Amino acid sequence: MTHVASDRAWTTQVDWGRLAPLRLRARTVAEGVYAGAHRSRRRGPGVEFGGHREYVPGDDLRWIDRHALMRHDRLMVREFETETDRALHLLVDATASMSYRGTRGAGAKVAFAALIAASLARIALTSGDPVSLSWIGGTGARPVGATSGGEAFERIVRALSEINATGDAHRHRQVFERTLAPIARRARRGAVIVLLSDLIDLPEESREQFTALGTAGRRLVAVQVLDPDELDLPFEGTVRLRALEGEAVVETEPALTRARYVAAMDELSRTWASSLAARGGRLVRAATDADPIDLVGQVLRAVAEGTS
Amino acid sequence: MSFVTWAALAAILLVIAPVAAHLLRRRRAEQRPFAPTAIVPASPPAARRRSKLEDRALFAIRALAIVALALLGATPLVRCSRLSLGRKAGASVALAVVIDDSLSMRAPGPGKRTRFETAKGDAVDLLTNAREGDALGVILAGAPARVLLSPTTDLGAASKVIESCAVSDRATDLDGALALARASLRDLPHADKRIVVLTDRADGHSDSTPIGDGIDLPVWVPQHGQQPEAGDCAVIRAERRQTTLAVRVACSGSAPARGRSLEARAQGRAVASKPLPPFDDAPVTGADISLELKADGERVDEIRLVGPADSIPDDDFAPVGSTSSNLAIAVVAEQGSSSIATGGPPAVEQALEALETGAVVRPLPVAPETADELAAYMAIVIDDPPGLTPEARRALTAWLDKGGVALLAIGPRAASAPIGSSLEPFLLSAPRWETSAPAGIDVASATILGPSADGLAELHPRGRGQFENGPRSGLQPLVKWSDGAPLLVRRTVGRGTAYTVSLPLAADQSDLVVRPAFLAMLDLVVDHARARGSSRRIEVGASWSFDDARSLEARDQRGLVAVELIEGRKRIAPSIAGRYDLHIDGVSESRFAMVPERELDLRVRPVSEVATRAELGGTTSSIDISRYVAFALLALLACEMIARGWMAFRERG
């Protein structure tokens, strides 16, 4: 039987579960991930030719290769290897829906997202790349500007530890846009933007707003953090479900509706994945009972794929 | 009931368990938070509806199963109110069930059922109560009493017979039925023999001995409490004479006739009506009422009593027949020689009147010489004629051929008939008169006259007739003199019968006419005439006889009527009053059956105290219904299995 905490507990305190303490867990994860020295290979404006790639809207028209256009009748952009900014911008969803934790999850979704964020920050800071932290919703959410000093990891971990998942992004639609605006201004070519969210209850336009950041050489990765219960709707008998954001209430018999629910969830992920792919981004789906080391590895690979 | 019974029945309260479970199950589902609720589909309404229906069916089955289990625990202590038989040490019982199927049983009985329905239900209860080895017979008490089923241990056959019983318009013959019941039980080996009488006791003999007295077997008359008071009026007969309708109405006292009137109807429409006159308070009172029609040719189908309803509405109407439906008897007797010293008409006429047969007696000076004259009569009695003329002989032969019944008495004049005269078709040879006669008859040969034959053991006539009695004469002796010579013979002529008695019907010639046996002899002739169909109107319970009819079919308002074959003779015994349409050898005619007037006496005959004793049986008893409950329980379990299978099939679908 699925354990469910009281309704109010979901929105006031983060259930860290097996993910605490965050600092140690993040270090362990980061050390588990191979993050050795790497070249800051970024393709973009520079002096050394780095190859061609397909033109995507937003590319600088100056780099369109006319010869390739005439030869292959396709718009191709010339790229050059260059040392670029490797700033990591972490965007963590701390709305109420992220406070959910079922019996199978290691902790609340926001806790799991915080662990992944801290681990990525640790890896990035170890490589000397600056890291920033921004929040969607949440109380006690203190954003952290791009920083790469010795104190940076501690500041980020402290900010992640103090978060409480509250707020309704579905109702307050401007929250997401307001969070993205500073990132769009500050992130330069080569910057990596990682969104950690369940992608549930976000406004319809949030997908376009986020993928719009994928221009100008910025790399996008969305990590969809879901509780195992949200993957397979394991309840039995007739249940009455209430959304954590919005007013949706549904009475259903999972035995009869499970297949359609799973299909709807897959469709949500597929929509985000295709939108991201159109901008060179990637979607990584993560269950909170998954191994965080593997997941961080997947995120890094997704970043690398977007870079190549 | 004992504590165990109460405890078992209290288990019925457990029926609330599935109700409570059902309510708990149907309580609103607990609400729980779930982030992606917006994309969770709601359950299809159809599925929920199906679930509801299935739940109800299962709930009903389980609740009934609990009730059945509780009843099973309580049996056989549950008591049901039904007629049951007391047994002596559990021995098998031979039972003669007398069911009264007379007209009065149509009246309302205790409860909402008629008296006959109550009696029939009692008979079914007794049958249900019977065990293997018990013998059960059924006797009907509608006059004449008859054995419907001789006592048998085949209870299935008894059940079918009881089911086939139907109420009739007959009179009641309880004494006859009791005698038959006693006789039917006489030879059975059972030690415990009983007669059960299921009747309303309204047999017209309220002053007679109580039912059950004078019978050497235990008689049980079950009582169902106080019977509702009954009163009835009936249309006995209705005959048309040109523009006049002669109607006979009988009522049980004055109350049922109050405020009622007679209505003549044609095709359901009233064409004439007349209020009933006031009736006496006597148990049964009859009144002859005339209704005048507007025109001779006006059609009338039936006469109906209208106004306040009485206890038996089935006898409130009668079809209209013609005057010729009556039984008319012609008597040819010389007034001078046949009259008796005390005055009045000849002895034979007085005797016919004394029989109260309802027949019209018409004296004739000579035997009719044309068939048309004879056609108006159903029987003829000819006393000591000086021979019959050829014309009379031809007319009589033709009339007998069609079913007439005639009685010829031979005296000195008949034996000295002039040349050219003979007594055909009664006798083929001429009789002779002897001036001496033996002193009495052979009583053993006179069984046809019943107990009254004993009175003829000493008979002192002045002489007697003698006639050829050989095999070629066609005569069948019915009563013999003590010297073996025939006193009464019978000869069949076509469909008719000719009786001949060898004594004249004059009191100065013999003392025969003053003996009860003479009345029995006349009654035999009249009954024969009536049975032969000579009478077109008879009481319900009597019968029409058709000895030589080759084809015979009869219908009443319900359809075809069964033709009985008794001793080689075809008979039709009407069981309900009304019109009967007959087809005899291709000729159609209508006959009528009347309600017996005496049956309207609804006074109740007393019952002997011994016939109501508790050890004979009762209306309340312990009935073991456990096997039925067990079967019901098994059926419920089967239902649940089927319901579950069906639900699984629907879910897979």
Sorted by sequence, the CB contacts under 8 Å of residue B627 that are 6+ apart come out as: none
pLDDT recorded at residue B3: 67
A168 in reach of chain B (CB within 8 A): no
Strand order of the sheet with strand B146-152?
B146-152, B135-140, B93-99, B192-198, B219-220
Q: Which range is least confidently modeled, A178-192, B319-333, B426-440? A: B319-333
Tell me B28's DSSP state. P
Cβ-Cβ contacts under 8 Å, A245 against chain B: 35
A171 in reach of chain B (CB within 8 A): no
Whole-structure pTM value:
0.47
Which of A226, A240, A265 would best serve as a mutation to test chain B binding (most B beta carbons within 10 A)? A240
Sorted by sequence, the CB contacts under 8 Å of residue B463 that are 6+ apart come out as: B412, B433, B434, B435, B436, B437, B509
> Following DSSP, what letter does each residue of B511-546 receive, concatenated?
SGGGSHHHHHHHHHHHHHHHHTT--SEEEBTB-EEE
Tell me B387's DSSP state. -
Cβ-Cβ contacts under 8 Å, A10 against chain B: 33
pLDDT recorded at residue A32: 66
A135 in reach of chain B (CB within 8 A): no
User: Among A125-129, B43-47, B291-295, B300-304, which range has the highest average pLDDT?
Assistant: B300-304
Question: Rounded to an integer, what is the distance from CA B259 to the centroid of its chain?
Answer: 31
With 0-12 / 13-18 / 19 or more C-beta atoms within 10 angstroms meaning exposed / middle / buried, residue A150 is exposed
Domain locations along chain A: 7-40+84-307, 41-81
Q: Which range is least confidently modeled, A217-231, B32-46, B254-268? A: B32-46
pLDDT recorded at residue A41: 47
A251 in reach of chain B (CB within 8 A): yes
Q: What are phi and psi of A85, to 5 degrees?
A: -70, 130
> Following DSSP, what letter does each residue of B58-120 receive, concatenated?
HHHHHHHHHHHHHHHHHTTS-EEEEEEE--STT--EEEEEEE--BGGGGSB-STTSBHHHHHH
E strand spans, B502-645:
537-539, 544-546, 552-556, 559-560, 564-566, 569-572, 578-584, 587-594, 617-622
Tell me A54's DSSP state. E
Say which residue the tokens 């719009």 belong to.
Answer: A212
Q: How many residues does chain B have?
A: 653
Confidence label for A8 from pLDDT (cuts 50, 70 and 90):
very low
B194: tokens are: 């009983």
Confidence label for B323 from pLDDT (cuts 50, 70 and 90):
low
Q: What is the CATH number of domain A7-40+84-307?
A: 3.40.50.410
pLDDT recorded at residue A35: 43
Write down all domains in chain B, each with its CATH number in brackets.
Answer: 3-26+44-78+628-652 (no CATH), 82-224+615-622 (3.40.50.410), 233-323 (2.60.40), 327-526 (3.40.50.880), 537-596 (2.60.40.10)
Q: Yes or no: say if B279 and B251 are a contact pair by the CB < 8 Å rule.
A: yes
d(CA B175, CA B179): 6
B637: tokens are: 């379990």
Which of B28, B33, B39 has the CB atom closest to A261's CB atom? B39
pLDDT over threshold 80, residue B609: yes
- Which tops the pLDDT comparison, B356 or B306? B306
d(CA A109, CA A15): 9
The residue of chain B nearest to residue A238, with distances taken between CA atoms, is: B29
d(CA B106, CA B115): 6
pLDDT recorded at residue B47: 47
d(CA B636, CA B67): 11
Q: Tell me if B43 and A200 make a contact (CB, 8 A cut-off).
A: no
Q: What are phi and psi of B45, to 5 degrees?
A: -55, -35
User: In whole numbers, what is the pLDDT of chain B averaged over residues?
Assistant: 83
pLDDT recorded at residue A304: 79
Q: What angle do CA B59, B64, B67 make, to 5 degrees?
A: 130
d(CA B555, CA B590): 10
Q: What are phi and psi of B193, to 5 degrees?
A: -120, 135
Q: What are phi and psi of B225, to 5 degrees?
A: 80, -165
